[in-house]
Amino acid sequence: MNNEAELKEVVKERYANIANQEKAVNASSCCGATNTSNKIYNIMMDDYTGTEGYVPDADLGLGCGLPTAFAQIKKGDVVIDLGSGAGNDCFVARHETGAEGKVIGIDFTPAMIEKARTNAEKLNYHNVEFREGDIDNMPVNNDVADVIVSNCVLNLVPNKQKVMGEIFRVLKPGGHFSISDIVLKGELPQALKNDAEMYAGCVAGAIEMKKYIGFIEEAGFTNITLQKQKPIEIPDDILEKYLSAEEINNFNQSGIGIFSISVYAEKPGASQETQEKQKVKLADLQQEGCAPNSGCC
């Protein structure tokens, strides 16, 4: 397997090309990055049709779930979308936050940032911002976001453990995330794991679900919840690029599970809003001459 820097360059190059592809090409391939399958159906993505805030021009068919549907976004929230692409999930999140909230999309592909900003300008959205940068080193200060979402992106990052640490850093105390991603149950064939191009196609970068959840726990998150799980089947005409006929048959019979999941977790601690309410209450009590923990109230 290539080193982290080389893998990132492969992904960046692929997704720069994807930014200019038709959605139908992306949707019928593996996250838009590998050769189109002759089976006409979406391998990964969920259908956004009917979702409030959905913008068809911003949907490149690259997702593997609907994280915003599970993210419990409230009016006025600050939301960060990791790997924001052309802005699809940002615009859905913006519908939930309202004009009083803010949405920040982060993507490391300049072509995607340009496309997303163009879409935001067309929609006249002044509270949706797109920043170029790596999600394992986010261009965001500490304790900024109420909610973080991401759609089929962490599997593209070599150092997933570092990303989880960054998510923890930028979330406010009491904030939470809902992330859709690709995970495994079992071990992929070595030919898939070793191919950088297949890595850019999502699957080769996926890790065991237990390890994935372990990284979330190690970062310090609590209340980890699997919100959705959906099996993914890779068509044989994509596998043929990497495996022999016998290997494909063995793979299909192996019981290896490739899943799209949506997972939720919380950063411990009181939210900023709760802290402010506590400060106001404390100030009121002090004015009334009631000392904290005195039992007079």
User: How far apart are alpha carbons 238 and 192 in whole angstroms?
Assistant: 11
Give SS3 for 148. strand
**Global model pTM greater than 0.85:** no
DSSP string, 226-251: EEEEEE----HHHHTTTS-HHHHHHH
Helix/strand/coil percent split, the chain, to 5: 40, 20, 40
> How many independent structural domains does the chain possess?
2
Same domain, 145 and 222: yes
Which range marks the domain in which residue 285 is found?
Answer: 273-297
Amino acid at 116: A
Same domain, 157 and 253: yes
Same domain, 187 and 290: no
Same domain, 280 and 134: no
Same domain, 292 and 258: no
Same domain, 98 and 120: yes
Same domain, 218 and 168: yes
Given a contact cutoff of 8 angstroms between Cβ atoms, the answer to whether 177 and 165 are in contact is no
Same domain, 247 and 288: no
Same domain, 193 and 289: no
Same domain, 187 and 259: yes
- Angle, vertex CA 163, rays to CA 188 and CA 55, nearest 5: 90
Same domain, 117 and 212: yes
Can you give the CATH number for the domain in which 121 is found?
A: 3.40.50.150
Give SS3 for 56. helix
User: pLDDT per position in the chain (297 positions), as tens?
Assistant: 457 887 788 788 887 877 776 655 544 444 544 454 444 334 556 667 777 777 767 777 777 888 999 999 999 999 999 999 999 999 999 999 999 999 999 999 999 999 999 999 999 999 999 999 999 999 999 999 999 999 989 988 889 999 999 999 999 999 999 999 989 998 888 887 777 666 666 677 889 999 999 999 999 999 999 999 988 888 888 788 888 999 889 888 888 888 899 999 999 996 545 545 444 433 453 454 443 333 343
Q: Which is it for strands 222-231 and 257-266: parallel, antiparallel or unpaired?
A: antiparallel
CB burial of residue 114 (10 Å; 0-12, 13-18, 19+): middle
Same domain, 110 and 239: yes
Alpha helices in 19-66 (DSSP H): 23-27
Maximum alpha-carbon separation in the chain: 81
Given a contact cutoff of 8 angstroms between Cβ atoms, the answer to whether 103 and 79 are in contact is yes
Cβ-based neighbours of 249, under 8 Å, separated by 6 or more: none
